[in-house]
């Protein structure tokens, strides 16, 4: 076990030295939907429960928690009103399944709905009457394995697709994570995850074609090449501690996030659970250097978050449960993000 601890510490030190907040590169990355969290339970803690997240939602934060699912199967459906006032919506589906050897597989699908956007031109700035809708979809396939209930590791491969009617970009990303549990009742938890590591993406398609007149008067079609863009790589380091009472639990957590293309963030949260049926949670996230340069480099999600969950068994004393999750995250600007979710524990 000591060797495993030394390995985790080595990963942390190496990752911290390799990742550091770099506001000078803000705006240079793309595929920022990889940083959007559609799941309500973890969103209520500002996506900071790196150390204790489990099941389907772990595929968005720390895939190592996939094998720490309490039951055998978990199914999640989620919808989020992203940044109230922008008319953007996130929809997601996830499934996780435990195996007999201490492992677990999972799949998650997330799509961003922009609604119908009016087509405008230089000649018709008020709109041509036609509309278009971008399609942002990413699909993740993950696996996690648990060793002696103390250490779990996981890896996830994600396919990313962004497209319009005449433009598209396609890419892959890899997530990896570790979780460590200690204490007489597994009270103490530690986690680290590295997300969105992949090759650059580049748009292509007929939308980049342009017809120009040659010197001799002939008309030629030229294909312009778009610049490629990096994925928004991110590092999470978190810890948590469970205070176990008679029929309730109070979890206190802290989390540090290193963004390779923006400012670093630090936050803390607390969750109260009664019989693991009713849960109330809240968090606060701070962005280093916020308010500087007129707030240009501030993260949208800086400040408070909160949420609640209700889990009810299908029948009294049964293991199969259905749950409803809700979360709200304050944002600046816009009117915050509302997350709604339904989970089935089978």
Give the C-alpha distances (Å, rounded to integers) separating 218 from 167, 207, 214, 222: 26, 21, 5, 13
Tokens of 215: 């010197």
- Asked if 313 contacts 288 with a C-beta cutoff of 8 angstroms, the reply is no
pLDDT-derived band at 87, boundaries 50, 70, 90 = confident
Pick from 250, 323, 241, 314: nearest CA to 280: 250
Task: Tell me how far apart the alpha carbons of residues 95 and 81 are, in angstroms, rounded to a whole number.
Answer: 22
How confident is the model at residue 334, as a pLDDT? 85
Considering only CA atoms, which of 335, 298, 327 is closest in space to residue 83? 335
What is the bridge-based pairing of β-strands 321-329 and 73-82?
unpaired
Neighbour count for residue 287 (Cβ, 10 Å): 23
The overall average pLDDT reported for the chain is 88
pLDDT of 270-298, one tens digit each?
Answer: 999 999 999 999 999 998 876 665 555 56
What are the structure tokens assigned to 241, written together?
């501690």
Q: 110-138, pLDDT tens digit by residue?
A: 999 998 888 898 889 888 988 888 999 99
pLDDT of 13-32, one tens digit each?
Answer: 455 444 555 556 666 788 99
CATH class belonging to 2-204+233-345: mainly beta
pTM of the model: 0.88
Apex 185 CA angle, 183 and 191, nearest 5: 55
pLDDT digits (tens, 9 = 90+) for 50-82: 999 999 999 999 999 999 988 899 999 999 999
Q: What is residue 34's DSSP assignment? A: G
Nearest to 15 by CA among 232, 288, 253, 258: 258
Decide if 21 contacts 262 (C-beta within 8 A).
Answer: yes
The pLDDT of residue 163 is above 90: yes
Percent residues over pLDDT 90 in the chain: 60
Residue with the two structure tokens 């990303």 = 173
What pLDDT sits at residue 13?
46
pLDDT of residue 171: 95
Q: Dig out the tokens for 80 from the structure.
A: 């989020």
Higher pLDDT, 304 or 217: 304
Distance (Å, rounded) from C-alpha 30 to C-alpha 205? 18
């Amino acid at each position: 076990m000591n060797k495993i601890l030394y390995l985790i510490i080595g990963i942390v030190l190496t990752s911290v030295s390799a990742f550091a907040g770099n506001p000078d590169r803000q705006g240079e990355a793309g595929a920022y939907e990889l940083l959007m969290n559609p799941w309500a339970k973890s969103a209520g803690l500002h996506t900071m429960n790196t150390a204790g997240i489990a099941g389907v939602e772990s595929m968005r934060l720390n895939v190592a928690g996939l094998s720490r699912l309490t039951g055998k199967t978990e199914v999640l459906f989620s919808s989020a009103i992203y940044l109230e006032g922008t008319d953007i919506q996130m929809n997601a589906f996830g499934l996780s399944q435990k195996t007999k050897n201490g492992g677990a597989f999972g799949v998650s699908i997330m799509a961003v709905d922009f609604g119908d956007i009016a087509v405008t031109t230089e000649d018709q700035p008020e709109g041509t009457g036609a509309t278009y809708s971008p399609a942002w979809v990413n699909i993740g396939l993950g696996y996690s394995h648990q060793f002696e209930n103390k250490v779990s590791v996981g890896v996830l491969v994600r396919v990313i697709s962004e497209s319009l009617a005449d433009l598209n970009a396609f890419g892959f990303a890899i997530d990896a994570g570790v979780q460590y549990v200690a204490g007489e009742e597994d009270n103490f938890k530690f986690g680290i995850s590295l997300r969105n590591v992949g090759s650059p993406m580049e748009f292509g398609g007929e939308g980049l074609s342009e017809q120009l007149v040659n010197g001799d008067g002939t008309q030629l079609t030229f294909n312009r090449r778009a610049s490629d863009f990096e994925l928004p790589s991110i590092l999470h380091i978190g810890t948590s501690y469970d205070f176990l009472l008679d029929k309730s639990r109070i979890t206190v957590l802290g989390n540090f996030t290193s963004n390779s293309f923006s400012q670093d963030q630090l936050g803390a949260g607390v969750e109260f659970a009664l019989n693991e049926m009713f849960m109330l949670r809240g968090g606060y996230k701070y962005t280093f250097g916020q308010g500087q340069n007129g707030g240009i480099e501030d993260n949208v999600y800086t400040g408070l978050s909160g949420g609640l969950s209700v889990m009810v068994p299908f029948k009294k004393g049964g293991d199969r449960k259905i749950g409803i999750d809700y979360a709200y995250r304050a944002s600046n600007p816009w009117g915050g993000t509302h997350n709604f979710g339904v989970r089935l524990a089978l």
